[in-house]
Amino acid sequence: MFLSPSNFSHFCSQQLSCRLSPASNFCTHKASYGISCSLDSTTNYDIKRFEDAKEKIRKMFHKVELSVSAYDTAWVAMVPSPAAPTTPCFPGTVNWILENQLHDGSWGGVVHHHDTCLLKDSLSSTLACVLALNTWSVGEEQMIKGLDFIMSNFASAMDEEQHSPIGFNVIFASMIEKALKLDVNFHLAPSDIDAVIQKKDLELKRIHGKNSKARNFYLAYISEAMGKSQDWKMVMEYQRKNGSLFNSPSTTAAAFSELQDTNCYSYLSSVLKKFGNAVPSIHPFDAYFRLYMADVLQILGLDRHFKEEITSVLNETFRRWEQGDDETFSDVVTTTMAFRLLRDHGYDVSSEMLAVYHDEDCCFHQFGGHLEDVRSALELFRASQLKIYDHESYLEKQTSNSRIFLDRNISEHSTQADRFSKNLIKEVADTLKSPYHASLERLESRKFIERDNLNDVRVFKSSIRCTNFGEEFLLQLAKNDFSYCQSIHLQEFKQLQRWLSESKLDQLTFSRQKLSYCYFSAAASLSYPELADARISWAKNSVLTTVVDDFFDVGSSEEEQLNLIQLVEGWDADKRTQTCSKKVEIIFSALRDTICEIGARAITWQGHSITKHLVEIWLNLVKSMWKEAEMVRNKSVPTMEEYMENGYVSFALGPIVLPTLYFIGPKLSEEIITSYEYHSLFKLMSTCGRLLNDFQGFQREAEEGKLNAVSLLILHGNGTVSKEDAIRKIRHAISDKRRELLRMALQGNEESVVPKDCRKVFWKMSKVLHLFYMKTDGFTSEDMAGAVKAVLYDPIDEI
């Protein structure tokens, strides 16, 4: 039997819970393809464990639980009461400090206490807590233990291999100076203290050389370290609607201590009301973590199990975006991630909110060169690639600027040994190698899993994470899911190998043997188990179009070409046909069987026969290839318009993509497949492919005496167009067509009739093309062998 759309949900839930076995629905499903299944006595995880894991993830969406910050809590605890300055304004925070010292004498790092990369976080948090207790003359025993911890770990303050919270060099030294004025004895050598203070002075000198906007932002953010020398009027320019400064309790506490601003007080009170007697390092931050969870699930390929939760997050984010919500636009990372996810899911969001990030110094240096600046640039790079309108030229500039910044920072941060730097730099390197328009879902899932870190910890002035975000079990769930899908893909590939042999297509020596590439492109783009029919259709037709392309190109006579066209044109699936050669017999036999098979399978999905449409698609292709072959034989030089009008069809994506749409899920009526929108999507996708092929294959085809888009531009330029000029023009045309294709795929228009899931298949194929043609003609060469292995063969559970 074959899966109908109504079987999707049951199939996914059942199959993700077990290995392949003869008794499974999957094996029944695959039997018709001739795929054998073997019983594995050890299951990855049973249905109950899988359902429990899904429920745990759902709960994350419903309630984001943030870790609290001892550092920020200490600064709130130091705020004196306006009515009675000798008493704390928020006494509950002092009690929290007294009750929450760790066994080694430190405060902070509650979540990652044993993470040695966060020792500087622990040092600054501990010193802030000691100062808070000293301020109110309580907790002498706790202060002594805290100072012992600082003394024992003081060397880490100067260790460049330790991950530094934002502003650590300034803040920690300033707290040391403040403690010394209070006669706190650190039992440290004066030279050690002098070294820390000297480092602060150097940091401030470096910051003062920055752009004024970036300098002011950074100095305002670390206001608690600046004391009486701070320009508080400048600082208050950053106050937000909720009364906070940067959503930072420590910065807001410092401002309230200095200015007694009532809005600052209201913010601090509201945060304590929500979290009890302690505060996180940033609040509100729920919007970011919900977006982050949705993003992670999508990258891991698990989003199909949480469609309702992800849709809810995106709907709420869109509502906030439309309202200009302060939290959504509170920082570069949250804003750009919200834009990227909303636009990628088809929401009509304006990119104008990203236009404010045109100033590199302001956008990429807000935190004084901290790793968070790299994260901001990375998210802006990702978001800016989703340009879909002509007027969004600023997005192109942001893509370029952020790429330059990230390239530079890869080398600058590559020497840092802490895991936060290593993980983020690896993520940056992977992203730069795989731009949005050339990234395939299964490859991206694998790369994300292989980094083996969900990067859910953010380090501002102190660390913060979502404490109910199950990093380890989510990664394991992703590995199990990847392995399960990979086992299905490998079984399908083996069946296709048998089909290739049985159809004798592998005996055609003139043709490129690219089955692995043909199937890889399908599995990497349409990886979900329920899309087996779509993958098989895509792969078989990819093989056939490659054979037919080589047949018209190098493997046939004019008589054989006409014979094949006549056979398709006079289609009769039930009668034996006369062929003029063994080659034509093999090709047409395989073509006829495949069309009949796909037509029969589609009835399950569509409820009607699509065979007539399949024949039309193939007839259009072979006729366009005949026309192309005639141009070569006659040495004719077409106009660019004539060449492209035929060339987008002869590029041979029609038989690959159009039949696949019938197996995606939605019903496709005659109105849809004959619509202008349907044809435009096909033409845009195919034109991109034709132009990519032509400029990457220009040199080879020129040596073979063949014309293509590049050579025609040069010829018709009458000596005024160089090769470089022609390629530049082709690249620009590809960019324009790609942008328009992405706009149609994501948003369509008010009169759209093509279902969104089907529109996205055109974009997925465009991504395949851009990946294959990124450096050379990757389909003809062996450049993609590593990617094929990653998707089909290499086990992920060995990572």
What average pLDDT does this structure show over 209-234? 90
Instruction: Write a three-state SS string for 414-455.
Output: CCCCCHHHHHHHHHHHHHHHCCHHHCCHHHHHHHHHHCCCCC
Cα–Cα dist 385/437, whole Å: 8
| Spatial distance between the Cα atoms of 59 and 334, rounded to a whole number of angstroms | 21
How far apart CA 718 and CA 706 sit, in angstroms, is 18
Going by pLDDT thresholds of 50, 70 and 90, the confidence category of residue 296 is very high
Q: pLDDT digit string (tens) for 567-586?
A: 999 997 666 678 999 999 99
- Region 282-290 average pLDDT: 94
Asked whether 317 and 338 are in contact (CB, 8 A), the reply is yes
Q: 10-19, 102-111, 205-214, 583-592 — which one is most confidently predicted on average?
A: 583-592
The answer to whether 436 and 385 are in contact (CB under 8 A) is yes
Geometric angle at alpha carbon 443, from 439 and 447, rounded to 5°:
105
What span, in angstroms and rounded, lies between the C-alpha atoms of 668 and 660?
11
Average pLDDT rounded to a whole number, residues 338-365? 85
What would the mean pLDDT of 178-202 be, rounded to a whole number? 94
DSSP for 60-89, written as a single string:
HHH---BPPBHHHHHHHHTPBPSS-TTSBS
pLDDT score for 362: 59
Phi first, then psi: what are they for 386, rounded to 5°? -90, 50
Dist. CA 737–CA 694, nearest whole Å: 15
- Residue by residue, DSSP assigns 460-526 as SSSEE-BTT--HHHHHHHHHHHHHHHHHHHHHHHHHHHHHHHHTTGGG-TTS---HHHHHHHHHHHS
Q: What is the pTM of this model?
A: 0.90
Q: How confident is the model at residue 58 (pLDDT cuts 50, 70, 90)?
A: confident
pLDDT at 7: 38
CA angle (516 as vertex; 496, 495 as ends), nearest 5: 15
Locate 355 and state its tokens. Answer: 């236009």
pLDDT digits (tens, 9 = 90+) for 392-443: 999 999 999 999 999 988 877 666 667 778 888 889 999 999 999 999 999 9
Q: What is the pLDDT of residues 10-35, one digit of tens each?
A: 333 443 333 332 223 333 344 344 44
Residues paired with 458 in a beta bridge: 464
The Cα–Cα gap between 405 and 426 comes to: 15
